[in-house]
Structure 1
Amino acid sequence: MLSENKLWYQNSRMEETKALLLQARQEGFRSIRLNLFPAAVAEGGVDAIDAWYQSLRVLVTYGNSVGLHMIIDLHESNRCGVDASECRRLTTDFWSRTAGMFSDTRFDVSYELLNEPKGEMVSQWGALYPQLIKLVRSKDRHHSIIVGGKGYSTIWDLPPADPDQERIIYTFHYYNPMSFTHQGADWLKAHPSLAERRNIGWGSYADRTRLAIDFRSVDGWRSRNDAPLFLGEFGVFKRAPAEDRVVWLSSVARMSEERGITWCLFDYEGGFGVEGLLPAIQKGARRQP
Structure 2
Amino acid sequence: MRLTILLVMALTIQSLLFAQIPNNGINLTGMERTWDKPSFHSKAIISQLKELQRFGYTSVRLPLAVDYLLHTDQRFLRELRKVVRYTESQDLILILAYFDHQLAEDQLDLKVLKLQENWIAILKSLDGNLSNIYLELVNEPQLSPNTWHSVVPDLVESIRKVSPNIPLILGATNFNSLFELSRMKPWDLDRIIYTFHYYEPFLYTHQGTAWTGPQNSTKGIPYPFAAEAMPVLSPQARGTAGEINYRDYALTGNRIAMEDKIGQISQWAKQHQVVLWCTEFGVTVNSDPKSRQNYLLDLNQVLQNHGIPGFIWEWEGNFGVKELNLPLR
Q: TM-score, normalised by structure 2?
A: 0.75
- Given the alignment, which residue of 154, 170, 173 partners 1:150? 173
Distance 2:125 2:271 in 1: 35
Which residue of the partner structure matches residue 215 of structure 2? 193
Q: 2:160 aligns with which of 117, 134, 137?
A: 137
Q: 1:93 aligns to what?
A: 117
CA distance in 2, matches of 1:213, 1:130: 31
Which residue does 1:19 correspond to in 2?
Answer: 47
Match of 2:327 in 1: 280
- C-alpha change, 1:226 and 1:103, in structure 2 (3 Å) is farther
Check whether the contact 1:35–1:74 (CA below 8 A) recurs between aligned residues.
yes
- Matched residue type, 1:192: P
Deviation at 1:99, TM superposition (A): 2.8
5 Å-filtered alignment, 1:55-70, equals 55-70=79-94
Which of 125, 128, 134 pairs up with 2:148? 125
Residues 163-200 of structure 1 show CA distances to partners (whole Å, capped at 9, x for unaligned) of x5332100001100111000111122xx3331x22110
Please tell me the residue identity of whatever aligns with 1:112.
E
**In angstroms, what is the RMSD of aligned CA positions?**
2.2
- For structure 2, the 5+ residue unaligned runs are 1-26, 32-36, 226-249
Letter in 2 for 1:200: I
The C-alpha deviation readout for 1:26-85, integer Å capped at 9, x for no partner, is: 1011111111112223444xxx3x4212222222222333342110111125x2247434
Cα distance between partner residues in 2 of 1:262 and 1:217:
16
Q: Which amino acid aligns with 1:178?
A: F
Instruction: Give 1:126 deviation, angstroms.
Output: 0.9
Computing the radius of gyration over CA atoms, which structure comes out larger, 1 or 2?
2
In 2 relative to 1, CA 106–274 (structure 1 residues): closer, same or farther, beyond 3 Å? same
C-alpha distance after superposition, 1:244-270 (max 9, x if no partner): 111111111111111111111111111
Distance 1:81 1:252, change over 3 A: farther
Aligned to 1:161: 186
**Is the contact made by 2:170 and 2:195 (CA closer than 8 Å) also made in structure 1?**
yes
The letter of the residue matching 2:46 is K
Code of the aligned partner of 2:170: V
Which residue in 2 is equivalent to 1:232? 279
Match for 1:222 among 259, 269, 272? 269
- Tell me which residue corresponds to 1:72: 96
Q: TM-score under structure 1 normalisation?
A: 0.84
Structure 1 gaps of 5+ residues are 283-289
Deviations 1:91-143 (A, max 9, x none): 1112222233345256410011100001x465521111111211111111222
Equivalent in the alignment of 1:178: 202
Q: 1:41 to 1:98 in 2, by over 3 A?
A: closer
Aligned partner letter, 2:147: Q
8 Å contact kept, 2:285–2:319: yes
Equivalent position amino acid for 2:221 in 1: I
Aligned counterpart in structure 2 of residue 270 of structure 1, from 317, 323, 326 = 317
CA–CA distance in 2 between the matches of 1:165 and 1:232? 20
Q: Structure 1 vs Structure 2: percent identity of aligned residues?
A: 24
Cα gap change, 1:4/1:54 in structure 2, threshold over 3 Å: closer, same or farther? farther
Q: Decide which moves more: 81-90 or 237-246.
A: 81-90
Quote how far apart the aligned CAs of 1:203 are.
1.7
Q: Give the secondary-structure state (helix, strand or coil) at the position aligned to 1:128.
A: helix
Rounded to whole Å, the distance in 1 between the matches of 2:298 and 2:325 is: 13
Aligned residues: 269
CA distance in 2, matches of 1:65, 1:277: 28
